Amino acid sequence: MKLKDFLKTQGIDENLAQLIMLFGNQATDIKAGFLSARGAADTRNVYGETQMALDKRADEILIAALRKSKLVSWIASEEQPDIIEVEGAVNPFGVTMDPLDGSSLIDVNLAVGTIIGIYPGHVLEPGNTMLGALYILYGPLTTLTYTTGKGVHEFVMDGDGTFMLMQENLIIPDGNIYAPGALRKDYLPYHRQFIEQLESEGYKLRFSGSFVADVHQILHKGGIFTYPAYAGKESGKLRLLFEGTPMGKVVTEAGGAVSNGTINLLDVKPAAVSDRTPIYIGGRKEIALIESIKRS
Ligand code: P6P
């Protein structure tokens, strides 16, 4: 079944369905740049990180499509310093975008992706207010995984760029993979205890450097991804709005959980679009373990 037809069976708001389709429709153009626009651009994003040419290209493609569609009022992008207000929008929706998470890995042909959060209005609200979330993963296959709160559903792009249903109502299984970001030498004591507990239970390390790809693996095989607070960086590295809450919404709707180590990340109200956060995302068992260790 095509994504467009599947969305019609889900009883969701037509404008929300059109928005999901809009993002899927940009995948081909974004992928087309992988061969031509590689390497670093001569600019830095608001976090002071060198922007890859592909980050900027994906950002431009998505913003142009959103402006033209008038489907959203607010656009927050990891590649933009400020929230963009769309003139003449027909919906109050707000979206958050990591246009190309893990983009530096394209040079070594590893999977990267687009991460989207969809809000009923302005985006500086807790993740638990989201209408939905989705990600497009550009790997050996190009897949789109979305949730609007009625299950998590995965589609694969076929030869002519159409997303076809691959799996509906995904549930995160029990598993023993862990994806530990940050340097071991910088671990804080509670995090070190958590990681050593996982390793004593035989968890296997799988970390690619692409958050979206690593979390996708955890969603399908179980376990936990973490980029924690660490010595000198108590806020962690990853972004709350652009990485933590949208992927946390997907994993939570699939029966998993997301945390900053203390509380459900979807309950956190952002102070600014640039907020970073410690992230633990995966199985409820592993999330309960880190929150228990951190409390003790
Ligand atoms: P490190 C990519 O730049 C990213 O934001 C995430 O996709 C990834 O999980 C993390 O940073 C990797 O960070 O410090 O291991 O290079």
- What local confidence, expressed as pLDDT, does residue 96 receive? 98
Please count the residues of the chain: 296
Q: Tell me the helix, strand and coil percentages in the chain, rounded to 5.
A: 35, 25, 35
| Average pLDDT for 96-113 | 94
What is the end-to-end Cα distance of the chain in Å, rounded? 49
CA of 64 to the centre of ligand 1 (A): 26
Atom 10 of ligand 1, residue of closest alpha carbon? 209
What CATH code would you report for 177-295? 3.40.190.80
Instruction: Give the least confident one: 39-53, 58-72, 181-195, 271-285.
Output: 39-53
CA of 278 to the centre of ligand 1 (A): 12
Site to probe by mutation for ligand 1, drawn from 238, 242, 243, 281 as the one with most ligand atoms within 8 Å of Cβ, is 238
Spatial CB neighbours of 290, under 8 Å, sequence gap ≥ 6: 190, 191, 194, 224, 226, 259, 261, 280
- What local confidence, expressed as pLDDT, does residue 35 receive? 82
Report the C-alpha gap between 113 and 84 in whole angstroms. Answer: 22
Summarize pLDDT for 220-258 with one digit per residue, the tens.
Answer: 999 999 999 999 999 999 999 999 999 999 999 999 999
Domain ranges of the chain: 3-167, 177-295
- What local confidence, expressed as pLDDT, does residue 51 receive? 67
| Average pLDDT for 94-118 | 95
pLDDT at 164 over 80: yes
E strand or H helix at 25, and its extent? helix 14-25
Instruction: Report whether residue 209 contacts ligand 1, using a CB cutoff of 6 Å.
Output: yes
Atom 1 of ligand 1, residue of closest alpha carbon? 209
Percent of the chain with pLDDT over 70: 95
Instruction: Report whether residue 181 contacts ligand 1, using a CB cutoff of 6 Å.
Output: yes
Q: Which ligand 1 atom sits closest to the C-alpha of 225?
A: 9
Report the C-alpha gap between 116 and 16 in whole angstroms. Answer: 13
CA of 60 to the centre of ligand 1 (A): 22
Spatial CB neighbours of 90, under 8 Å, sequence gap ≥ 6: 15, 70, 71
Q: Which ligand 1 atom sits closest to the C-alpha of 212?
A: 7
CA of 160 to the centre of ligand 1 (A): 31
Total-model pTM: 0.96
pLDDT at 269 over 70: yes
What CATH code would you report for 3-167? 3.30.540.10
